Every structure is written in structure tokens, then in C-alpha cells.
Amino acid sequence: MLALSTVGVFLFVAAATLAVGLGNGSRRARALQRLAAKPKTASGFLPSPVTVWRELVDRLGSAVPASPKDLPLLRRRLVRAGWRNPEAVRFFQGARAVGVAAFAMATLAVAFHSHAASGNLLLGVGAAAVMGYMAPMQFLQFRIRRRQHAIEKGLPNALDLMVVCVESGLGIDQTMVQVAKELGNAHPEICEEFALMNLELRAGKRRAEALHNLAERTAVDDLRKLVAVLVQTDRFGTSIAQCLRGHADYLRVLARQRAEERAAKLAIKLVFPIFFCVLPSLFVVTVGPVLTRMVRDLVPMIENM
């Protein structure tokens, strides 16, 4: 019995060891198979719509280059909108070409569906092509205005933080870096411009040149005034903290005056909506029942006469 039990234990241990070894070997083989690079077949590769769109716009932009005369202005506008990619001009031209083709094809489809005349068809396709050509520029102008408004909104808070940093002993360059770091989540647009200015200073540009580039990139009047104040302060050696505090107060007064101006214009702007939208419905509610009763009472009297 002792010999049989010993043999049984030996066989059990051997079987367990063999099972564990086989399991480890299969796991190692599966791990190596997962890590091995799988060859990609052409039939199983499906590009995403974003990739297809980017490739289409890129190729159309390369086929329809921008005019050399308008290229500097277009680059400046793209930078003011926040697009600093060197290939942004080509993508913009491709978007224009796609817009012209898409608007023209949509107009052709609508015209064929409604059986429009040939003269109206040509006129509609031409107008749609012009709209498709102008739509990317209008979107670009909208992006520029929205970004400039965001910079104007964040400038007073940035100035307050600049005053605190300067009074604590930091220089103007370190102040720009600290403002870009602290207000990155609240006002990313102006912090991005400050960070880019700091990169220009590190690259070796003079402070006055970097400040002028900051004003040129944004094209915001309030920021241009700040740049003029900083350049004048740097040139004459006056107190930076005092100038920044005075400029921050000036910007707040200017913002209050703009708000008062908009509030004064509100009454005039409300005349047309009230006259064309509110008054007709008010007349229907107040005068409608009276007219209905008058017609209901007077028409039988007129018929009996």
C-alpha cells in the first residue's frame, strides 16, 4: 500500500507539473503572438472619414494654390484665427475648392429636382459657386472675431496678475511666463500669445520687437495699447507696476463705457422686433375677440335689413 500511494503521489505531482508547464508555454506563445506585428492587408484597411477629408482638402489645396499677392494677408489672418500650421494656407485653399464644388452640386441637384429653366440654372449654379468660395473666408473672419473677443475678455485679469507679479519682484519676461502658466485654463488665447512671445524672446529677439509681433498677431486694440505702454516703459525706465495698474484701470473704464453704450443702443434695436413680432400678436389677442363678436352680431343684422 505504501508503494502504491508513493507511486500515486509521484504520478499526481508529475501530471500537475506537466499541466503547469504546458499552460505557461501556451500563455507565452499567446503573448508573443500578440506582440508580433500583424501584416496589414489592403482589403481590411478602411481609412477614417477624417483622414479621407484631410487628404482630399490637401490635394485640392496643392492643385489650387493661393495668389502670391494675397498670400501674406491670408497667412496673417490664419495666424490671427489661431492656425499657425505652415500647411494652413493649403488646407484653406482646398476648403475653398471643396466649398465651390459642394455648393454647385447641391444647387444642380435642387434645380434638376425642381425642373428649373436653363437660364435660372446657370444663374443659381454661379451664385452657389460664389457662396462656396466666400464661405471659408467668412468662417475665418468669424474665428478671428471670436478669438479677439476672448483676448479682450481675458486681458484685464491678465493685467491684474501682471501687476501682482511685477510688484513681487519679477521682471516683465518672467511675468509673461507666470501669467501664461496661471491663466492657461481660464483664458487660453491670451496665454498662448504670451507663451509665444516668451519663445521669441528666448530665440533672441529684442523685447520691443517681440511686443510688436504680439500686437500684430492679435490685432486687438486694447493689447496694442498695452504693448505701446510696455515699450514706452522699457524705453524710458518708468515704473512698470504703476503703468500696468493705470492701464488696467483704463481698460475697466473702457469696458464699462462700452457696456453703457450697448445698453443705450438696446432700446433702438428693440423697436423693430417689438413692432413686427410683439405688436401683431398683441393685436390678435386683444382686438381679435372684439372683431369676431362684431362680425357675428352685425352680419345677421345686415342680412335682415
**pLDDT (mean) for 89-104:** 88
Residue 66 lies in a domain: yes
Give per-residue pLDDT as tens, 106-163.
Answer: 988 888 887 777 777 788 888 899 999 999 999 999 999 999 999 988 888 898 899 8
pTM reported for the whole predicted model = 0.70
Number of domains in the chain: 2
Give per-residue pLDDT as tens, 240-279.
Answer: 888 888 888 888 888 889 889 989 888 888 888 888 888 8
Say what the pLDDT of residue 134 is. Answer: 92
Residue 219 lies in a domain: yes
Q: Tell me: do 129 and 178 sit in the same domain.
A: no
Q: What is the mean pLDDT of the chain?
A: 81
Boundaries of domain holding 66? 49-146
Q: Tell me: do 205 and 135 sit in the same domain.
A: no
Domain CATH code at residue 261: 1.20.81
Q: Is 103 exposed, middle or buried (0-12, 13-18, 19+ CB in 10 A)?
A: buried
Q: Tell me: do 55 and 125 sit in the same domain.
A: yes
φ, ψ (nearest 5 deg) of residue 213: -65, -35
Whether the pLDDT of residue 304 is over 80: the answer is no
Residue 297 lies in a domain: no
Q: Tell me: do 127 and 170 sit in the same domain.
A: no
Q: Which residue has the cell 517681440?
A: 210
Do residues 233 and 171 lie in contact, with contact meaning Cβ atoms separated by under 8 Å? no
Whether the pLDDT of residue 43 is over 70: the answer is no
Q: Tell me: do 64 and 152 sit in the same domain.
A: no
Do residues 197 and 208 lie in contact, with contact meaning Cβ atoms separated by under 8 Å? no
Say what the pLDDT of residue 209 is. Answer: 92
Residue 218 lies in a domain: yes
Cα atoms in the Cβ-side hemisphere of radius 13 Å centred on 172: 21
CA distances from 229 to 61, 76, 191, 232, 240 (A): 41, 24, 19, 5, 9
Residue 283 lies in a domain: no
Query: What residues have CB less than 8 Å from 80, skipping those under 6 apart?
Result: 144, 147, 148, 217, 218, 219
* Angstrom distance (rounded) from CA 298 to CA 231: 82
Residue 29 lies in a domain: no
**pLDDT (mean) for 233-240:** 81
Q: Tell me: do 258 and 154 sit in the same domain.
A: yes
Residue 203 lies in a domain: yes
In the listed set 146, 166, 182, which residue is the last one of a domain according to the structure?
146
Helix axes 118-167, 207-218, angle to 10 degrees: 140
Q: Tell me: do 102 and 208 sit in the same domain.
A: no
Q: Tell me: do 77 and 154 sit in the same domain.
A: no
